[in-house]
Amino acid sequence: MTKRVLIVLQHRDGRLHRMSREAVAAGQKLAAAVGGTASAVLLGAGVGAIAEQAAGYDLEAVRVADDPRLADYTPGGYVGALAPALKSEKPDFVVFPHTYQSVDYTARLAHEVDAALVPEVTGFAVEDGVLVWTRPILGGKLSSRVRVRGEGTVFVSVQSGAFPADGAAAGSARIETLAEAAPAPDREILGVEKAGAEGVDLTKASIVVGVGRGIGGPEKLGPIQDLAKMLGAEIGASRPVIDNDWLPRDRQIGSSGQTVAPKLYLALGISGAIQHLVGMKGSGCVVAINKDPSAPIFSIARYGIVGDLHEIVPALTKALEEAGS
Amino acid sequence: MRIAVCIKQVPDTEARLRLAADGRWIDEDDVAFVINESDAYALEEGLRLAEKTGGEVVVVSLGPARVQEALRKALALGAARAVHLADDAYQGGDAAATARALAAALAREQVDLVLTGAQSDDAGFGATGSLIAGQLGWPHAWLVMGVELDDGGKSARVTREMESGLNEIVRLALPAVIQVQAGINHPRYASLKGIMQAKRKPIATPAPDELGLAAGAIGAAGARLEVLSVAFPEAGAGAEIIAGDPATAARTLVEKLQKEARVL
Ligand SMILES: Cc1cc2nc3c(=O)[nH]c(=O)nc-3n(C[C@H](O)[C@H](O)[C@H](O)COP(=O)(O)OP(=O)(O)OC[C@H]3O[C@@H](n4cnc5c(N)ncnc54)[C@H](O)[C@@H]3O)c2cc1C
Ligand SMILES: Nc1ncnc2c1ncn2[C@@H]1O[C@H](COP(=O)(O)O)[C@@H](O)[C@H]1O
């Protein structure tokens, strides 16, 4: 029987979210692999232009719930909009972009429609007729292969970067109304504020030295600051460094911090969790210094040194001095 | 106010990992286990809210015998009581099976608020808290960086992290499940007095039937997600590792950055 794949699109500032396009690429690939068709669904208020944008992909349909109750995202709004159609149509797969918004409501929706949930997948393969999903565990140090048991709809959310957006095939989809949508907003939205104080703009730096929990404490920053000075670099940090107040929040790099793409990024004592990588993997050249040879940061770095950063950092400053750069 | 905090015990991020013989999980021998990072922040938030309102905190954890250590630590930090879902039947579940068990335990506690971490550092589902909320029929919020009680505890003003450096402030009716993100506060350290007192605090270990749970609904039997294998990321695409003592490696790196990558 033809399998049905539904892709839930997220949008921001009147356009499809970058990760929605990645979800389209994933959903199309999945439909092809399981022998099925892919459609998309779009929720919001006044989203006609975004639906047109989505209709430019090779999809069977773009199904839209355009409703003032969906003007602001709330989990109740989104679950109410999607659950009735999912319950009556029972698609085989629903593909979400793994964004903060999706994570906030997909589990709740899965509960509501009794779907299995495979969060943050990085890939899939049909092995001996069994669909096997790959997802990271332990902060990306390992990956796991999982399968879903039992009948019913399977939800997957796709990790940022796992299914490149340029893999999404263009085409022409019909636009239709999502039936039975009954959004029931369950949060009063009181406002939106900036997370960190205005401060350094790390995106302007051509070299960034990123420090992680592995530096051990704020008292260890001295030699790292010397190195940064020698390089003319700004210092950025992983989240735990900020959470522990070793450096101020405006220096955080990653999914909840700044996104940087300097020509050189030096990662010191950073393991390389995806939430950090999304904030710096566009860098021209990544150098990782970590005492753990299997740290995931090495898989996106061009050069690596395995060892104690407290020994390597001063040596590096000295080597730069000698090289006169 | 009565507050429950769900804490999971996970491998320390510093732990050197080896695969288990069956290839489906890590070999837990010689691995240090700690309270999941965001759960430690959730616990601190719970303790502060309880102190503010003259309430108490109950900590709940599902996991094998080693989890007692994490619960004792939470009791030493100031939780009043603990519930440990230790029975074998609870173990090996996915987020939904685990949430079913936790929700059944929480339903007995008559709490006004459940706090969880945003995400476990091992399984990383980011789903268990929302699924507990689904089970209890309560509102929820994920990735929370601030909680303030309003209306004498009938609702909470919750600050949620969004992407792109923004926070959203929403009002949730209580009872609710609030999924706390690391960095919301600065967790306290246990005092000697706290550690001594913790020894006498109760840890309940209810069996599944006491919570009205059928064996097929929980643990590995109740899970729809089955882990087939785990593996280290594929080598090969990785970095060029520069060998040598620190001075040699540093000199080689500088040379490569200048001549090969041309970024200096
Ligand atoms: C929703 C969400 C959002 C998040 N947002 C962000 C974000 O924006 N940015 C971010 O960075 N993280 C974010 N995180 C956290 C992320 O998942 C990781 O926990 C975090 O990036 C880990 O930081 P780390 O690499 O510094 O620490 P760890 O993972 O603890 O790694 C420390 C590393 O240092 C190494 N090390 C220790 N000592 C030494 C030494 N002496 N010499 C050399 N190496 C040493 C260790 O081998 C280890 O690899 C987020 C998480 C969630 C759930
Ligand atoms: N076995 C468990 N025992 C107690 N709490 C848990 C357990 N598993 C998950 N949780 C809670 O749910 C949160 C999210 O976990 P996860 O869905 O695995 O990312 C964690 O931060 C914990 O607060």
- Find the ligand nearest to A211 CA: 1
Q: Is the CB of B39 under 6 A from ligand 2?
A: yes
Question: What confidence tier does A198 reach under pLDDT thresholds 50, 70, 90?
Answer: confident
Average pLDDT over residues B127-136: 98
Say if A255 is an interface residue toward chain B (CB within 8 Å). Answer: yes
Residue A263's SS3 state is coil
CA of A272 relative to ligand 1 center, distance in Å: 6
pLDDT over threshold 80, residue B237:
no
Tens digits of residue pLDDT in A5-22: 999 999 999 999 999 999
Residue A157 exposed, middle or buried by CB count within 10 Å (0-12, 13-18, 19+): buried
Q: How far is B143 from chain A (nearest CA, A)?
A: 8
Average pLDDT over residues B186-215: 97
Within the 126-145 window of chain A, which residues sit less than 8 Å (CB to CB) from chain B? 132, 135-145
User: Which residues line ligand 1 at a C-beta cut-off of 6 Å?
Assistant: A 139, 212-214, 238-240, 252-257, 269-271, 273, 275-276, 279, 289-292, 295, 308-310; B 13, 118-119, 143
Tens digits of residue pLDDT in A48-102: 999 999 999 999 999 999 999 999 999 999 999 999 999 999 999 999 999 999 9
Region of A96 please: left (phi>0), alpha (psi -120 to 50) or beta.
beta
Phi and psi of A114, rounded to 5°?
60, 45
Instruction: Give the model's pLDDT for residue B88.
Output: 98
pLDDT over threshold 60, residue B13:
yes
- Given an 8 Å threshold on Cβ–Cβ distance, is A271 in contact with B13? yes
Instruction: Give the model's pLDDT for residue B123.
Output: 98
Within the 175-204 window of chain A, which residues sit less than 8 Å (CB to CB) from chain B? 186-196
Instruction: Give the model's pLDDT for residue A197.
Output: 67
- Given an 8 Å threshold on Cβ–Cβ distance, is B258 in contact with A325? yes
CA of A139 relative to ligand 1 center, distance in Å: 8
Q: Is the pTM of this model over 0.90?
A: yes
ipTM: 0.97
Number of Cβ within a 10 Å radius of residue A9: 29
Tens digits of residue pLDDT in A202-223: 999 999 999 999 999 999 999 9
- Given an 8 Å threshold on Cβ–Cβ distance, is B254 in contact with A195? no
pLDDT over threshold 60, residue A325:
no
Query: Is residue A298 a contact partner of residue A141, using CB atoms and an 8 Å limit?
Result: no
Q: What is the DSSP letter of B205?
A: -
Query: Quick one: three-class SS letters along B138-189?
Result: CCEEEEEEEEEEEHHHCEEEEEEECCCCEEEEEEEECCEEEEECCCCCCCCC
Query: Is residue B149 a contact partner of residue B1, using CB atoms and an 8 Å limit?
Result: yes
Average pLDDT over residues B230-251: 89
Instruction: Give the model's pLDDT for residue B235.
Output: 60
Average pLDDT over residues B54-58: 96
Q: Which two tokens stand for residue B206?
A: 């209810």
Q: Return d(Cα B104, Cα B82) in angstroms, integer.
A: 15
Average pLDDT over residues B146-163: 93
Q: Return d(Cα B223, Cα B216) in angstroms, integer.
A: 9
Instruction: Give the model's pLDDT for residue B236.
Output: 58
- Given an 8 Å threshold on Cβ–Cβ distance, is A194 in contact with B167? yes
